[in-house]
Amino acid sequence: MSRISRYILSELIPPLLAGVLLFTALLSFGYFFVSSQWLQGVAPGLVAQWIGYQLPDTLVKVLPMAAVLMTIVAFGRLNTDSELVAMQSGGIGLGQAGRPVAVIGLLLALLSLWLSLWVAPRANVETRSLYWDAMTGSGLSSMVGRTLDLGDGLSVYWADYDPATRRMKNVRAERWSKDDPRKVELVFAREGTFEDNLLSLSDYQAFTVNYAAAAELAAGTQQPAPATTADPAASLLALRQQAEKMNGQILSVFPAVALEDDPQKPLEIESGTSRKEALARFADAIGADDQGWNELTATLNDPQAHATDRQDAALTLSRKVALPFGNLVLALAALPFALRFGRSLGVSLGLALLASLAYYLLTALGLTLAGSATGPLALAWPWLGNVAVLLAGLLLLRRA
């Protein structure tokens, strides 16, 4: 590494760190302020842990803003003090001087990509779980009266919830057969618990219902009774055969029935979604971003996954890759802004916020357009912010 590159790096690092600290503090304070009315009496340690769990997702959002601030502050000062002119006089062009910006931007992109796909999803789940279970103590109360998809074809409903005992009341669980869409396993329970990936139901009644057989049974009941004959034995035999046939049809409608009122013998059902994941997805009006690389690629590679689910997974993966590389794009695109306007810290901070806001608005527009598109075009729209900002930066650089 040349002396010039080391010098420029020494100019870039301080505003980058200051930007990360400043924007992270502002965003974290915003999270705390919005939720502060429900956090009265909560131990400070829990609040600190809750804010800490939000840091990975917060960093993914603030690193692009810090990258813009880094470039504008550093190169704005170099330009104001005519140091860039001195470098050009010595044969060092803007492209060579900007290489450290590209290196830091790429490192920030890789860091943000790792956080976005591997760290933030798990941290987001822990954030929501800690908030609802430990900090507010509401637990599963916010999901009362809703039918929730817990994965693996399992849907669960509960009419009431006791936060003190963490027990659900009047629970209904159902799981439809993958092989026969008209066959379902139904469980009605007076009480139940949901811990980790285990649903434990007590005082329950379990039924397996075949609705195709039910339709046949309904059609059979409309058939006329067997005609009576002069021979009583023959008539009795015909009635007995009809009763046996109907009994067989009833058994085919309900191939399995289990009744258990002993609370010491609960029915345990494995769910594809854990309690923490359920809180992250369903407790708030807007679910947490809990899908990472493993979950997204599993959906994409699942031959039984619905085409819509695979498209959503591909779109989410495209978004989670596009945003981290916004660090590199914004860091480089900020160079012409630094040469034109980076004359003071206040102006630099304002430009960083405006450029970041424009980038996020364009990215949001791209995601909106992606929702109404299909195929490769839908996967390209999340990159709208990156492409637009890069083109704007190149255009301004030519005029600088």
* Domain assignment of residue 183, given as a range: 143-217+246-282
Evaluate whether residue 226 is within a structural domain: no
Evaluate whether residue 308 is within a structural domain: yes
Evaluate whether residue 227 is within a structural domain: no
Q: Is 83 in the same domain as 157?
A: no
Q: Tell me what pLDDT residue 193 has.
A: 96
Q: Tell me what pLDDT residue 324 has.
A: 97
Tokens of 226: 């067997």
Which of the listed ranges 103-117, 206-220, 327-341, 371-385 does the model predict with the highest average pLDDT?
A: 103-117
pLDDT, tens digit (0-9, with 9 covering 90-100), for 12-28: 999 999 999 999 999 99
Using DSSP's 3-state secondary structure scheme, residue 157 falls into strand
Evaluate whether residue 222 is within a structural domain: no
Using DSSP's 3-state secondary structure scheme, residue 175 falls into strand
Distance, in Å, from the CA atom of 277 to the CA atom of 38, rounded to the nearest integer, reads: 21
Evaluate whether residue 275 is within a structural domain: yes
Q: Is 62 in the same domain as 149?
A: no
Using DSSP's 3-state secondary structure scheme, residue 191 falls into strand
Q: Tell me what pLDDT residue 154 has.
A: 94
Residue 258 has pLDDT above 80, yes or no: no
Evaluate whether residue 333 is within a structural domain: yes
Tokens of 273: 């979604």
Q: Is 353 in the same domain as 277?
A: no
Residue 76 has pLDDT above 70, yes or no: yes
pLDDT, tens digit (0-9, with 9 covering 90-100), for 348-379: 888 888 989 999 999 999 999 998 888 889 99
Q: Is 76 in the same domain as 177?
A: no
Q: Tell me what pLDDT residue 225 has.
A: 52
Q: Is 278 in the same domain as 313?
A: no
State the CB neighbour count (10 A cutoff) for residue 59.
21
Distance, in Å, from the CA atom of 15 to the CA atom of 190, rounded to the nearest integer, reads: 60
Evaluate whether residue 385 is within a structural domain: yes
Q: Quickly tell me which residue has 């590679």 as its tokens.
A: 301
Output b/e per residue, 325-335; b: 16+ Cβ within 10 A.
bbbbbbbbbbb
Q: Is 315 in the same domain as 372?
A: yes
Name the residue among 39, 32, 104, 30 with its Cα closest to residue 61: 30
Q: Is 168 in the same domain as 128?
A: no
Higher-confidence position of 376 and 122: 122
Calculate the CA dihedral of residues 97, 103, 105, 109 and round it to 10 degrees: 170
Evaluate whether residue 229 is within a structural domain: no
Q: Is 182 in the same domain as 276?
A: yes
State the CB neighbour count (10 A cutoff) for residue 271.
23
The count of structural domains within the chain is: 2
Name the residue among 163, 133, 165 with its Cα closest to residue 49: 133
Residue 239 has pLDDT above 60, yes or no: no
pLDDT, tens digit (0-9, with 9 covering 90-100), for 28-54: 998 888 777 777 788 999 999 999 999
Q: How many CA atoms lie within 13 A of 281 on its CB side?
A: 14
Q: Please state, rounded to an integer, the average pLDDT across all residues of the chain.
A: 88
Name the residue among 45, 64, 48, 17 with its Cα closest to residue 363: 64
In this prediction, residue 288 has a pLDDT band, given cuts at 50, 70 and 90, of confident
